[in-house]
Amino acid sequence: MAAALVISAAAAAVLVISDKKETARLVTEIRRNSYGEGGTSRILRMKIDGEEANSLEIEVDEKRYTNDEIRAVFRRASEKLEPLILGENERLDEVRSDLKLVTEIPGEPVDVSWELDRYDLVNIYGELNEKALEEEPEGVIVKLKACMIYREDESMRALEEMNARIFPPKMTGREKSAAQVSRVIAKEEERTREEDVLRLPGEVDGRKVELRNPDNPRGWYVLAMGPIVCLLLVSLQKQNEQKEKEERERQMMLDYPEIMNKLTLLLGAGMTVKKAWEKIVQDYERQKESLGERRAYEEMSIAFREMQSGVTESESYERFGRRCGLKAYRKLVSLLDQNLRKGTKGLTALLAAESQQAFEERKAAAKRKGEEAGTKLLAPMFFMLAMVLVIVIIPAFLSIKM
């Protein structure tokens, strides 16, 4: 924040000093823009006999060519014209692809309009009529007239004439055969327009013609999509399983301090570990519909049912720890197993200390979450600050008159 204030203050100081120098300078001339750059206008403060007067707006048109300069422009445009219209052709003596009849000359103030003597072969855009040219294998000479017009004064014009020899496009043997079949079909289509169907030829110039539907690759696409979809589904399943695992562990760690606190209170009230475990499970079963399913309590419920079915208390606790898979719950199982082997002396104090530590870790985790959320907001805040500085400073620098 401090850096942003320093930068903005420095930029403002530079702009103020520059503007002061600019307003103090006496303006005696205004440079006219070159051709094509457009006119310019300036608003100037005015003093008459040392007294302030109204501001004056002065408009200055762009520079115009003299007659000699215009003739030179037409000469340059004429030299550039033929290379511009060739397109993919090498020369006008052999034109086999579309011409590019330009309407302006790059770098020159000249517009161009065209006149042709064979619009049936070439249109005003220079596109060839391939069907009409198929009947002219030796080529046809087409006269092109280019009328060049000076943009600032349309009365200033120059005429350029050139001839182009137009040939049918070059085709391979397969392309010629396809074009021949296409012509036969076109004639048949025109002849049978009053009929319900168009009969396709089976023979053209003594050669057998077979017409079939093109290969449709959609079956192969579906076949290829199968493994891809399977991979995506497997990846999605693993991702969902990982999210479910992370959510399960998060929920169990949130419940851990509460479970430890309940065990501490019940053991302190004189209950055995098994009775305290049973009490916690029964309370959870009664409140399950209102509170929803909690994974840690579900695992405790499974362990309690194992005890009822004949599994030893120690084995039930060990299975509970393995199912939970978290370090905190394995530590709880270790304390309970130690209690079974050595007695209950000191267990309540150990559980109380563990409960206190679990609450502290829960508070620290919540604090970390809050800090992470604040950190994530820093990037968009800095981005917004940068955008504000750009919006404010760049137009100010661009307005400085050099």
Q: What is the DSSP string of 28-90?
A: ---PPPPTTS--EEEEEEEEETTEEEEEEEEEEPPP---HHHHHHHHHHHHHHHHHHH-TT-S
Name the residue with tokens 């004429």: 78
Name the residue with tokens 């898979």: 325
Mean pLDDT of the region 198-214: 78
Contact 151/78 with Cβ under 8 angstroms? no
Mean pLDDT of the region 201-206: 77
User: How far is residue 104's CA from residue 113's CA, in Å, rounded to a whole number?
Assistant: 9
User: How far is residue 77's CA from residue 64's CA, in Å, rounded to a whole number?
Assistant: 17
Q: What are phi and psi of 181, to 5 degrees?
A: -65, -40
Question: Does residue 222 have a pLDDT over 70?
Answer: yes
Any idea which of 60-64, 218-222, 261-265 has the lowest mean pLDDT?
Answer: 60-64
Q: Hey, is 164 helix, strand or coil?
A: strand
Cα-Cα end-to-end distance for the chain: 31
Which residues neighbour 82 within 8 Å (Cβ) at sequence distance 6 or greater? 92, 162
User: How far is residue 78's CA from residue 206's CA, in Å, rounded to a whole number?
Assistant: 52
User: How far is residue 341's CA from residue 314's CA, in Å, rounded to a whole number?
Assistant: 9
User: How far is residue 164's CA from residue 145's CA, in Å, rounded to a whole number?
Assistant: 11
**Cross-strand pairs, 162:** 144
Residue 402: what pLDDT? 46
Q: Hey, is 213 helix, strand or coil?
A: coil
- What does the pLDDT look like over 235-280, one tens digit per residue? 989 999 888 888 888 888 888 888 888 888 887 787 888 888 888 8
More confident residue, 286 or 204: 286
- What does the pLDDT look like over 333-382, one tens digit per residue? 887 777 777 665 667 777 777 767 777 776 776 677 766 666 777 778 88
Mean pLDDT of the region 79-101: 85
- What does the pLDDT look like over 119-147, one tens digit per residue? 888 888 888 887 777 777 778 888 988 89
Helices 295-308 & 313-324 angle (0-180, nearest 10): 160
Question: Does residue 36 have a pLDDT over 70?
Answer: no
The enclosing H or E element of 362 equals helix 347-398
Q: Would the pTM of this model clear 0.85, i.e. be above it?
A: no
Burial class, 268, CB count within 10 angstroms (exposed 0-12 / middle 13-18 / buried 19+): middle
Question: Does residue 180 have a pLDDT over 80?
Answer: no
User: How far is residue 15's CA from residue 140's CA, in Å, rounded to a whole number?
Assistant: 68
Greatest distance between any 2 Cα atoms in the chain: 117
Total Cβ atoms within 10 A of residue 164: 25
Sign for the CA dihedral angle at 263, 264, 266, 272 comes to positive
User: How far is residue 229's CA from residue 224's CA, in Å, rounded to a whole number?
Assistant: 9
For 331, the token pair is 């530590």
Mean pLDDT of the region 162-168: 85
Residue 253: what pLDDT? 83
User: How far is residue 374's CA from residue 182's CA, in Å, rounded to a whole number?
Assistant: 70
Contact 76/106 with Cβ under 8 angstroms? no
